[in-house]
Homo-oligomer: A and B are copies of this chain.
Amino acid sequence: MNAQAAVTALAALAQEHRLALFRLLVQAGDEGMAAGRTAERLGIPNSSLSFHLAQLNRAGLIRQERQHRSIIYRADYEAMNGLVGYLMENCCGGDGSCVPASATPACCG
């Protein structure tokens, strides 16, 4: 994770619909969710949703996979963990007095 990638990821998340979308996928887990289904759940037009999915994808926060006629989206947990780690990097001077390395945040890792 570098500054540029982190800014891109944070910008992708810094929008009402995209944040809801990402959390929806985080909570959906391995199973993921089809694009159309997320549009239903969030109540926004398909074209808007597609735009937001593209942003999250470009930021590396989600992955897509075609399944029959649908495209299934999944959260990329590794990317999320990397972003969180970047924010907390060397917290309080990085002398280890603050957070033990073992407590580094990680989901599904």
Contact = CB atoms under 8 A, between A and B. Distances in A.
Interface string A82-99: 001011111111100011
Contact of A26 (B16, B80, B91): B91
- Interface residue tally on A, bucketed by range: 35 or more
23 contacts: A3-B16, A3-B19, A7-B14, A7-B19, A10-B10, A10-B11, A10-B19, A26-B87, A26-B88, A26-B91, A27-B90, A27-B93, A27-B94, A29-B91, A30-B92, A77-B91, A80-B88, A84-B84, A88-B105, A91-B107, A91-B108, A92-B108, A105-B105
A99 B106 contact: yes
Contact of A3 (B20, B30, B84): B20
* Identical subunits present: 2
Interface of A: 3-4, 6-7, 10-11, 13-16, 19-20, 22-23, 26-30, 77, 80, 84, 86-94, 98-99, 103-108
